[in-house]
A and B are shown apart, each in its own frame.
Chain A
Amino acid sequence: SQQGEEDPQALSIQEGENATMNCSYKTSINNLQWYRQNSGRGLVHLILIRSNEREKHSGRLRVTLDTSKKSSSLLITASRAADTASYFCATDESGANSKLTFGKGITLSVRP
């Protein structure tokens, strides 16, 4: 069964707006990571949050983690057209020895 499930599946916003994407998972984790994938390309790591952290920032990115609800959210502030991509959450499950389990991804479209 799938570990990470993102919500919504697709999101379309206007440039300058904030984009919020959610991820839920099922088992205990060491950390949760968010990756970005531009069409037809490989994934690029964005941010990692450990199981003992609740919030982390990196530039225009803010990620939160609620281990009691087994959920995470990624906020992109002041979105740009260049943020248009698919975003994946990936969980590093406890005992999985650094293997990541990816969700299906969220397609974000930012309209100029």
Chain B
Amino acid sequence: EADIYQTPRYLVIGTGKKITLECSQTMGHDKMYWYQQDPGMELHLIHYSYGVNSTEKGDLSSESTVSRIRTEHFPLTLESARPSHTSQYLCASSDAYQETQYFGPGTRLLVL
């Protein structure tokens, strides 16, 4: 079991609200990733970071933003949630030398 945590696990929120999805890992990994996954579909990379103060946009355009102030923490923020943001968000990490990624349990977001 990987030491990577996501909170909340489930979130139901109204349109226009600001939300932050938390992701923390205790493995000291430099690389962290955010994926978006709709039910039964593939994962799409939306943000990644190769270390503190490093953030990049992924292959799928997203209105969310991320920050990486500490190695272990990689929060994702939506300033104004919309129903189109309803999805599952998965956080992952890997170290500089590993090619595999460790995933958190995910956050299921429902925007009404």
B-binding residues in A (CB < 8 A): 2, 30-31, 33, 35, 40-45, 48, 88, 92, 97-105, 107
Contact = CB atoms under 8 A, between A and B. Distances in A.
Given A30-B99, A48-B100, A42 B42 contact: no
A42 B100 contact: no
Interface centre among B102, B103, B105 (most CB of A within 10 A): B103
Q: Is the interface of B mostly helix, strand, loop or mixed?
A: strand
A98 B94 contact: yes
B106 A99 contact: no
Interface residues of B, number: 27
Given A33-B99, A45-B100, A98-B99, A103 B94 contact: no
B42 A43 contact: no
A30 B48 CA distance: 19
Given A33-B100, A43-B103, A103-B42, 6 more contacts: A40-B106, A42-B92, A42-B104, A45-B101, A100-B45, A105-B40
Nearest to B90: A42
